[in-house]
Structure 1
Amino acid sequence: MLIDSLRPILENPFFVKYGLLGLFLNAVFASFVPFPIVVTSTALLLDGQSEIMVFIVMSIGSVIGGVLTYYIGYDGGKVYKILRKTHREEHQQKSFVWLSKYGWGIIFALSLVPILTEIVTVIAGVKKYNFKKFVISMSIARTASAFAAVYFGNMFLQYIKT
């Protein structure tokens, strides 16, 4: 059956071994290094973990990770200088312009996209964007993203089990 062939892939990641604690750490660290949170959450669902607990832990860890990366950017942009090596100058300027122009909306939108969410949180910190607006928009987006990951992950597992 398909589920049996997927089991080694889903159970292999490092964070899965530690259950909900591993998911929490995965969600926090994914803000710094793009680890696949969806793989960890789906593997925990496959293992029989509660959907609600996976959602709550994933949401909290992701929001904490976002706040941490905001403060990393807030320190004067030392980490942003590392990011600059991977992004061209015009992309950086465009990011600053978009943040100035669209504010919380761009933070919300990019917080829904896995790799861009790390970049936008650091840029918001570098620009010293209003922390309250940042936390609200980022938290709503990351909670919605966690809900979608758990919902569709569970739907996927139900589909392949039948």
Structure 2
Amino acid sequence: MLIDFLKPILENPFFVKYGLLGLFLNSVFASFIPFPIAITSTALLLDGQNPVMVFTVMATGSVGGGILTYIVGYDCKKIYRFLRKTQRSKDYDKSFDWLNKYGWIIIFALSLVPILTEIVTIIAGVKKYDFKKFAISMSLARTLSSFASVYFGSMFLHYFNNFKF
């Protein structure tokens, strides 16, 4: 059964051991330690955690992590210089232009995409984008993303627990 194959991955003792605290830390530091939050949340759901609590902790940690990466971008010109070296100058300038032109819409849209969410928060910080607009659009997107992750994780587990091969 597929769920039997996935259980060792989803029941990773590290995250189950630390429970909601582990999820919170994973959510906050996902910007720096690239381990998918969806795996942690699904592991906790598989372990029997309340989906509402998983969603609340995941959304809170994710928003906190977004604010943290904004602050890192705002205060750390070294990250800006590193990004300039790893990206073509034309592409990096284009991202600044998009942020200037579309603002919160870009922050919202890219905050729904796992890897791009970290990049856009750092760029918004480096660009010193209006924090209030940033916080609102990023918070809405990350809360929506957390809801979708918990909802579809619950549906996935429900489907495969009831599926007969």
TM-score normalised per structure 1: 0.95
- How do 1:79-98 residues align onto structure 2 when only pairs under 5 Å count? 79-98=79-98
Per-residue deviation, 1:149:
0.1
User: What runs of 5+ residues in structure 1 fail to find an aligned partner?
Assistant: none
Tell me the distance in 1 between the aligned counterparts of 2:101 and 2:36: 31
1:31 alignment counterpart: 31
Q: Is the 8 A contact 1:112 1:145 kept in 2?
A: yes
Q: Is the 8 A contact 2:15 2:43 kept in 1?
A: no
Question: Sequence identity, in percent?
Answer: 74
1:155 alignment counterpart: 155
2:55 alignment counterpart: 55
Q: Is the 8 A contact 1:73 1:125 kept in 2?
A: yes
- Cα deviation digits, residues 22-68 of structure 1 (max 9, x gap): 00000001122322100000000000000000000000000000000
2:111 alignment counterpart: 111
Per-residue deviation, 1:92:
0.8
2:132 alignment counterpart: 132
1:122 alignment counterpart: 122
Is 1:78 aligned to 2:81, yes or no? no
Per-residue deviation, 1:77:
2.5
User: What runs of 5+ residues in structure 2 fail to find an aligned partner?
Assistant: none
Tell me the distance in 1 between the aligned counterparts of 2:92 and 2:13: 33
| CA gap 1:74/1:55 in 2 versus in 1, 3 angstroms | same
Per-residue deviation, 1:144:
0.1
Is 1:3 aligned to 2:28, yes or no? no
1:12 alignment counterpart: 12
Tell me the distance in 1 between the aligned counterparts of 2:151 and 2:94: 34
Per-residue deviation, 1:132:
0.2
Q: Is the 8 A contact 1:77 1:126 kept in 2?
A: yes
TM-score normalised per structure 2: 0.93
- Equivalent residue letter for 1:34: P
| CA gap 1:118/1:148 in 2 versus in 1, 3 angstroms | same
Q: Is the 8 A contact 1:20 1:54 kept in 2?
A: yes
| CA gap 1:97/1:16 in 2 versus in 1, 3 angstroms | farther
- Equivalent residue letter for 2:9: I
